[in-house]
Structure 1
Amino acid sequence: MTWNRIIGFIATLVLAVLFFVPFYFVFVNSVKSFDEIMMNSAALPRQIVWSNFSQAWHVLRFNQVFINSLVVTVFSIIGIVIMGSMAAYRLARAKTVVNRVLFYLLISQMVIPFQSIMIPLVQFAKKLGLINHLFGLVVCYYGFGLAFAVFLFHGFIKGIPKEIEEAAIIDGCSPYGVFWRIVFPLLRPIMISVIMIDTLWIWNDFLLPLLILQKPEVHTIPLAVMSLFSEYLKQWDLALAALVLCILPMFVFFKFLQKHILEGITAGSVKG
């Protein structure tokens, strides 16, 4: 083994340890009592307190907030993928000046800081009756998520040969049929990447739900966890147990899509 490989192995090991340190603190402290967390948060638990999870589930009404997060995430992702792919296909294939301007206007949204439009967003959402409704939050995610989705889909669609679509048209396929039967299935690699990125963003998002969902019964998981922290009390034992419950669905999701995620990352890197 050469020195370059040894140095590379050590560097990789150090990065892996640094990456897993936050997970260590979350998982280890989720099974500790509050007093033990305060005494030494880095030590292994002297006594495992499994009741933290049941208490967190009860206090946060975790079944309800989990369903709220799941509904918001699923419907947001479905809308972003469908509308983003359709818009990108139109903008990529119809090469007009208007479409080019629309594309650049759309992706320019990605450089606008969210904090600069928070107040106008809440005022506009109130006028449309979107406050305190899960559907209202989903609509907001459409607005903020479509730009990046269109950007990714647009670049991928430009790499799809037009001859495939022309052959389908000759065979009698309608424009909608060309997209749904030919183009849309070919978008699977980049679609998986969009789903992965946006699912992680929407599931863990805190600020936008905080602005739109003000009633406890429509809270998502991040908002529910916030209720464990007040001015005089911070329930770290329950909060960390709740974080573990929040992480587990994402772990299962990414484990299930692991193969497809790798396909999305390597899409277009090899020709043939």
Structure 2
Amino acid sequence: MAGQSRIISWSKFLVLVIAVVLFVFPFLLLIINSFKENQVITSDPLGLPSAFRWDNYVSAFTKMGYVSAFGNSLLITITAVVLIALLAAMTAHFFVRHKSRLNQYLFFLMVSAMIIPFQAIMIPLVKIYGSLNLLDNKWSLIYMYIGFGSPLAVFIYHGFIKSIPLELEEAALMDGCGRIQTFFKIVLPVLLPTSVTITVLNVLWIWNDFLLPSLVLTSSEQRTLPLSTFYFYGTYTVDYGPLMAGLVLTLLPVLLVYMFAQKYIIQGVMQGSIK
């Protein structure tokens, strides 16, 4: 029995090591190639660089307009994520606590919107917003993110709010709190684990999104970090070295935030699973 359990433990360990290698290898390959010249990248993409070219990062930082693009990405991501979490929580709470046929219909209509692929509506969407002169505007993009991100958030919040005892809100109302105060002081703090999960999902989606910003934002001053990496694609050539460096610079802020906040993120997810 001891030998069998040892074999099982080593098998699990081996599977975990293989999974880690498969997940980490593409990122390590990206970092290694970000220090190479174009000729070396195309001829030997898996090899180590003979000399580290830090000028790839200098070139990427300059050509991308990194400071401006980083500011745009940060503004769009934070604003959209906060509004998605707040508005979705309020909407889901209203659907749960005010049961009616209309609310059930609206909830199922919102959830069914997740089935529609974005590619099916992106051309009419851009055409309509273009006719209204709402393209090339960060706030239009944020508005779209709220629309596309809210259905899933409402669905997740809806299931969690149903597990919250109604007596908590009734006690707050009896103590003199209004409905808005009850939501922000009682319900919203209880939803913190779910809010952490939704925040992580939306940050990863919005920060790394390329397709929707490429359709909405056209001027260089409005571009986000993923859009700025397109500067390295020429008509007939691709500047691979600075491109790899630009991708590393794009991913770095999210990785740093996760490294410093992973304790709270994991704690929030675990509390949500216990609930």
Shorter-chain TM-score range = over 0.9
SS in 1 for 2:232: coil
Instruction: Confirm or deny that 1:230 pairs with 2:234.
Output: yes
- Alpha-carbon separation, structure 2, partners of 1:29 and 1:238: 9
Cα separation, 1, equivalents of 2:95 and 2:39: 58
Residue of structure 2 aligned with 1:130, choices 122, 131, 134: 134
1:184 correspondence with 2:184: no
Tell me, in whole angstroms, the C-alpha distance in 2 between the residues paired with 1:216 and 1:208.
Answer: 15
Structural RMSD (CA): 1.3
Deviation at 1:121, TM superposition (A): 0.7
Q: In structure 1, give the amino acid aligned to 2:202.
A: D
1:265 offset after TM fit, Å? Answer: 2.4
Report which stretch shifted further, 119-128 or 20-29. Answer: 119-128
2-structure distance, mates of 1:181, 1:31: 51
Q: Distance in 2 between matches of 1:56 and 1:11?
A: 37
- Give yes or no for the alignment of 1:114 onto 2:118: yes
Q: CA deviation at 1:268?
A: 4.4
Query: Deviations for 1:215-257, whole angstroms, at most 9, x for unmatched residues?
Result: 1211111111012112311011001001111111001111232
Q: Name the structure 1 match of 2:88.
A: 84
Give distance in 2, aligned partners of 1:26 and 1:227: 18
Q: Alpha carbons of 1:268 and 1:225: their partners in 2 closer, same or farther (altered >3 Å)?
A: closer
- Aligned residue type for 2:221: E
CA contact (8 A) 1:189 1:260 kept: no
Give the drift of 1:127.
3.5
Query: Aligned to 1:151, which of 151, 155, 160?
Result: 155
Hey, what does 2:70 align to over in structure 1?
66
TM-score, scaled relative to structure 1: 0.96
Residue 37 in structure 1 maps to residue 41 in structure 2 = yes
SS in 2 for 1:232: coil
Is residue 32–residue 47 contact of structure 1 (8 Å, CA) maintained in 2?
yes
Q: Deviations over 1:94-116 (max 9, x none)?
A: 11111111111001111101000
- Asked whether the equivalents of residues 69 and 203 of structure 1 are also in contact (C-alpha less than 8 Å), the reply is yes
Q: Which residue of 2 aligns with 1:48?
A: 52
Q: In the alignment, is the contact (CA less than 8 A) between 1:130 and 1:137 conserved in 2? A: no
Instruction: Compute the displacement of 1:263 (Å).
Output: 2.6
Q: What TM-score does the superposition give when structure 2 sets the normalisation length? A: 0.95
Give the aligned residue type for 1:199: V
Does structure 1 residue 216 correspond to structure 2 residue 220?
A: yes
Ranges of 4+ aligned residues in structure 1 off by more than 6 Å: none
Return the alpha-carbon distance in structure 1 between the equivalents of residues 238 and 53 of structure 2.
18
SS state at 1:2 partner = helix
Residues 148-169 of structure 1 show CA distances to partners (whole Å, capped at 9, x for unaligned) of 1111111111111111101000
